Structure 1
Amino acid sequence: MNSRPKITHVIFDLDGVLIDSERVNFQIYQRLWSKYGKTFTPELMLRITGTPMANSAPFLIQHFDMEGKLSIEEYRKQYNTLADEFMRKCPIIPGVMRLVRHLARHKIHMAVCTSSNKIEFNVKTAMHPELFSLIPLIVLAGDDPEIKRGKPAPDPFLVTMNRFREKPENAVNVLVFEDSANGVRSAIAAGMQVVMIPDMSYMKLPEEVIDKIGCILKSFEEFKPESMGLPSYD
């Protein structure tokens, strides 16, 4: 018998969860930093995945010893130019539309909580109006003034939970879909249940909280909603 709490609310991360943007993002970082003779590695991608640009930009500028040579404003401008060119082509992750339509039919409350800012979000989602019309609540931690700390702090998911029109009874009734270790840490710190769908070509599992992850999947197509307290597929 499944003893999991009933899930009434679902929160999705964006990059690498709903849309296949992490690989494109890696290529953007490689292009940006190669102009300065720097090598952007999978290890660096692992460090910054799931964190807002307000945190990742100064970290990378310091890491590459570019302080005083590249401002955060110029870095943002260059990143946004590349993102505007490449991010529009990001496809939806296989299995996502089936799950989101299923949850909408069963009146499960849904939200997106992403470290992206408004400009980044609009570029990434422009080609997928149907998907995002089914998810009524969007929280952009990249430039949301209420979110003081980004992932892995719990703030992004707690703010999202409190913005649902119909709030969950408890954080444990919220299920988060994440691909990054920082995102998983954030959701667990918020007291929520988590499904992790990592890209193991560069992602590492967060060992210190691995026993608190509800399930770890290779793809959405493996997901059985009833295993996490949701209605089963029709």
Structure 2
Amino acid sequence: MALAAVIFDFDGVLADSEPVHLQVFQTVLDSIGITFTAEEYYAKYLGYSDRDAFVQVLKDRGLTIEDASLEALLETKQALFPQAIGDHALYPGAAECIARVAAHVPVAIASGALRHEIELILARSGLDGRFPVIVAAGETPRSKPAPDPYARAFALLDASGALRAGAAPTDVVAIEDSEWGLQSARGAGLRTLAVLTSYGKDSLPSADAWVPSIAAVTIAELEGLVDARSIRA
């Protein structure tokens, strides 16, 4: 077996954007009288898409929301994000990691972030067009931790002809920062590598391996993860 592709999560893996998402969530929720803490975000909601996060936050407070009001919250967050992110973009070493991996195998993104947010940060980092396949929030029937985002990214890579003939999901490594994302990737059959940017190792039990940051990812480790002897149940 040999590595066939690498699929990156985005927020918290390539982009140091989770604190910005938290800040904007807090601003929007405060506008409707809900206090939202960093502890809550990282413990319960980081892995969700914006839509699912808003719905779940309200549900956990015993509240419901009409579709029109939910859309208004989403639109407000989308409008605030570009200014909030500013030049706050990729982690140190992320661009080099992308180049290193892309020179070896096809790459893709499977993220709970909105497509325009991903493309905005990539463009500001000089990396627009680097990823031929991007699966973003709202582009699959279910979001993480369901397997749909990674399954779709694999299917799109396969359909594009980028993957070698006969490549299987177990020949692909997903790089993630949250347990939600790791479960999504494992559910789609991929191997998993966790970066310890948002959580410690003990909070990421679904990973096959762990690295301290995206800058520490090596081709040798990615190749090792798809070795038949390393696959665990």
The TM-score with structure 1 as length reference comes to 0.82
1:63 is matched with 60
Moved more, 173-182 or 191-200: 191-200
Identity rate, percent = 24
Q: What are the superposed Cα offsets for residues 173-227 of structure 1, whole Å, 9 maximum, x if unpaired?
A: 10111111100011111111111113346896244x3xxx232122123223202
Per the alignment, in what secondary structure is the counterpart of residue 92 of structure 2?
A: coil
2:95 is matched with 97
Q: Does 1:16 align with 2:12?
A: yes
* Count of paired positions: 217
Structure 1 residues 33 and 171: CA distance shift in structure 2, 3 A: same
List aligned pairs for 1:174-189, cutoff 5 A: 174-189=172-187
Q: Does 1:162 align with 2:158?
A: no
In the alignment, structure 2 segments of 5+ residues that lack a partner are: 225-233
Instruction: Select 1:143's aligned residue among 131, 138, 157.
Output: 138
Deviating 4+ runs (over 4 angstroms): 200-204
Q: What are the superposed Cα offsets for residues 30-69 of structure 1, whole Å, 9 maximum, x if unpaired?
A: 2222334432123431322222223222112233455358
Contact residue 175 and residue 193 of structure 1 kept, 8 A: yes
1:119 is matched with 116
Contact residue 30 and residue 39 of structure 1 kept, 8 A: yes
The TM-score with structure 2 as length reference comes to 0.82
2 CA distance for matches of 1:203 and 1:77?
Answer: 35
C-alpha displacement of 1:13: 0.7
Note the aligned Cα RMSD (angstroms).
Answer: 2.4
Instruction: Select 2:27's aligned residue among 28, 31, 34.
Output: 31
1 CA distance for matches of 2:152 and 2:170?
Answer: 15
1:85 is matched with 83
2 CA distance for matches of 1:56 and 1:38?
Answer: 13
Structure 1 residues 134 and 143: CA distance shift in structure 2, 3 A: same
